[in-house]
Amino acid sequence: MLLRHTPTEITERSALVINPAKTCQPVGAMYAALGIEGCLPHSHGSQGCCSYHRSALTRHYKEPVMAATSSFTEGSSVFGGQANLLQAINNIFTVYNPDVIAVHTTCLSETIGDDVPQIAEKARQEGKVPAGKYVINASTPSYVGSHVTGFSNMCLGMVKGLAVKTGKKNGKVNIIPGFVEPSDMEEIKRLAAEIGVPITLFPDTSGVLNGPLTGKFRMFPKAGTPVEALKGVGEAIGTLAMGEWASADAARYLDSEFKVPCRVLDLPIGLAATDRFIDALRKIAGVAVPEKIEFERGQLVDMISDQHQYFYGKKVALAGDPDQLIALTEFLVSMDMLPIHIVTGTPGKKFEGRIRELTKDMGRPVNVRGPGDMFLLHQWIKNEPVDLLIGNTYMKYIARDEDIPLVRHGFPILDRVGHSYFPTVGYKGGLRLAEKILSALLDRKDRDSPESSFELTL
């Protein structure tokens, strides 16, 4: 349904969300679990919940997403799902033989009060978990947080369920990439390899949700973070967490429980954030930045400089995940663009403060809300129009109603492809993102220009 009847008069709403700029925690938990090699995500709740979570991921990544469910019935909903989960664990290891079952809860099982760690321990004691196999878990009710916090909770579940203490450092750097695309995770690994830093990236969905078509079905692709690597994250020389909302909890747990020092960075989207990521890698591993990385950085600086006149002063409205919006806002400001309307659906008190800090030198006020929704964003746009929208597929309704160009970024993207294969992190990703923004602006310029200014070259 189009939104042309959205009113310009803004009324504060405390108990009503319209067009939320998020989805629910289990989606993020399921996505994170798919980043473990040989892992089957398991939804502890009803079949309908699991079907929605799988569908959301499948539609975004255009890949089949495998997951199991406890299949709650009326009886389970009243008396609890312990029997269902015990039977599920036994069936899954018997039939599908994964290395790990990653259990995440739903609204139903959380409301009932199922103690999933206790149930998993009971399954082990009853011999339902084979030797060398693992059951990890995360608490992810949909009525709090978002897909971003669900991702974070499952990352924490990986550390709690798999990390071990050996007393010997392994010389590696942990990198928790945040809720980003498989292509972004691949780019983070490439950058670390170019610099010569041995890392453990977890989770890692590259090769899982952007793999090749081979004609042969594999229940578990030969990709993802190996279990043995996850066991060793507690013996790393340090951890870099990409994003406060999606990655920091696991990193801080490793710091407090395993004495692995951590640093929480912004997602490396754009020039400055990538600079900080590269510098942190350099310092933590004690290595020099190779010329190839400096060359890639120079290419991004060159594009921004060459096309600055088209970026300058353009007003932008954004909606999405907090970690991504913070990095995107900094990138836009660095190109002298004006991100003036910014909304995330994910709760978190620090978000508005970070955005205001990043935009304080723009010389004009900025509308920012966290948590907020796309209805509010649309109202802001009606009161002060913008030149560009950046957000997920659901922003296309605002784009059509207000006749504004849209650059699709974030989750979910249901009506375009490429996000799984082409990164937007790092300097190479910054080039792609700047090119997408530039193309959207110039396409609009070509559409609207009179013949006298219908340019043939930039």
- Is residue 358 a contact partner of residue 326, using CB atoms and an 8 Å limit? yes
Residue-level pLDDT at 77:
73
Q: Place 383 in a pLDDT band, splitting at 50, 70 and 90.
A: very high
Return the higher-pLDDT residue of 81 and 337: 337
Output the pTM of the full model. Answer: 0.95
- What is the spatial distance between Cα 233 and Cα 165, in angstroms, rounded to a whole number? 9
pLDDT at 458 over 80: no
Select from 265, 255, 210 the least CA-distant residue to 233: 255
Q: Do domains 173-290 and 296-452 have the same CATH topology?
A: yes
Tell me the pLDDT tens digit for each residue of 342-367.
999 999 889 999 999 999 999 999 99
Q: 25-161: which CATH architecture? A: 3-Layer(aba) Sandwich (3.40)
Sequence ranges of the domains in the chain: 25-161, 173-290, 296-452
Residue-level pLDDT at 99:
97
Residue-level pLDDT at 399:
97
Q: Place 76 in a pLDDT band, splitting at 50, 70 and 90.
A: confident
Return the higher-pLDDT residue of 455 and 292: 292
Domain 296-452 bears CATH identifier 3.60.70.12? no
pLDDT at 79 over 80: no
Residue-level pLDDT at 456:
80
Residue-level pLDDT at 4:
74
Residue-level pLDDT at 3:
67
248, HSE (Cβ side, Cα atoms, 13 Å): 12
Which residues are CB-contacts of 49 (< 8 A; sequence separation ≥ 6)?
A: 26, 43, 69, 106, 107, 108, 142
CATH topology of domain 173-290: Rossmann fold (3.40.50)
Q: What is the mean pLDDT of residues 220-225?
A: 95
Eight-class DSSP state of 315: E
What is the DSSP track for 25-93? Answer: HHHHHHHHHTTBTTEEEEEES-HHHHHHHHHHHHHHHTS----EE----HHHHHH-SHHHHHHHHHHHH
Residue-level pLDDT at 155:
98
Select from 113, 117, 148, 156 the least CA-distant residue to 134: 117
% of the chain exceeding 70 in pLDDT: 99
- Is residue 274 a contact partner of residue 425, using CB atoms and an 8 Å limit? yes
The torsion angle over the Cα atoms of residues 154, 147, 188 and 348, rounded to 10 degrees, is: -100
- What is the spatial distance between Cα 373 and Cα 343, in angstroms, rounded to a whole number? 6
Tell me the pLDDT tens digit for each residue of 405-450.
999 999 999 999 999 999 999 999 999 999 999 999 999 999 999 9
Average pLDDT, the chain: 95
- What is the spatial distance between Cα 353 and Cα 344, in angstroms, rounded to a whole number? 13
pLDDT at 1 over 60: no
Tell me the pLDDT tens digit for each residue of 116-129.
999 999 999 999 99
pLDDT at 217 over 80: yes
Q: Place 2 in a pLDDT band, splitting at 50, 70 and 90.
A: low
- What is the spatial distance between Cα 197 and Cα 288, in angstroms, rounded to a whole number? 10
Tell me the pLDDT tens digit for each residue of 269-288.
999 999 999 999 999 888 89
Q: What is the mean pLDDT of residues 368-380?
A: 96
